[in-house]
Amino acid sequence: MLKKRLEGRNIILASGSPRRHQFLEELDVPYEIRLKSIEEVYPTHLKAGEISDYLAELKAKPFNGTLEPKDILITSDTVVWHNGASLAKAADETEAFEMLQTLSGDWHEVITSVCFTTAQGSVTVHATTKVKFKKLTDDEINFYIENYSPYDKAGAYGIQEWLGHIGIEELQGSYTNVMGLPTHLVYETLTNMVS
């Protein structure tokens, strides 16, 4: 349905995330991947969704002046927000363990922002999902860190992996948002842009 509306438009996804690639394919949105590296630094006064909005927009900046009239560039960023602080990607095993221990037995927010940029301008949207972990044991945390890939994910976990299956008690909001792309918002925003 959306694919037909997007005829004549060129969707560019500026993300190396296999999960985001998979979601666009499942939405039946044809796209190409273009990657440009940026330093993901944001002003320290920003909070929660302000951080992910800022970084999603920052990721679009290297494309300034390169977009054709038919292009729609999609950039995004995910933030895990807990107790007034952003939990970024863990640098090592110790950091990953500390992050997961902090999230254990408590609620946190996962916010994913998506910036849609054309040659004419841009629009940024974001979704927030509340997630509650059960009380995780040290053995469970260590097993996850040793057997999965916590280092490329905000908050040091993937909801679609083992820890998500055994550890998440409650979820309020979009599941795909926690995986890194609020697909309902992507569908809605693209539909509005081409209708």
* Of 67, 65, 79, 75, the residue nearest 35 (C-alpha): 75
Are 110 and 76 within 8 A, CB to CB?
no
**What sign does the CA torsion over 25, 31, 32, 36 have?**
negative
Hey, is 192 helix, strand or coil?
A: helix
Active-site option among 53, 77, 138, 139: 77
Tokens of 118: 């054309």
| Secondary structure letter of residue 89 according to DSSP | B
Are 75 and 15 within 8 A, CB to CB?
yes
Q: Please confirm, yes or no, whether 77 is among the known catalytic residues.
A: yes
First to last CA, the chain: 12
Distance of CA 129 to the CA centre of its chain: 11
Annotated active-site positions, please? 77
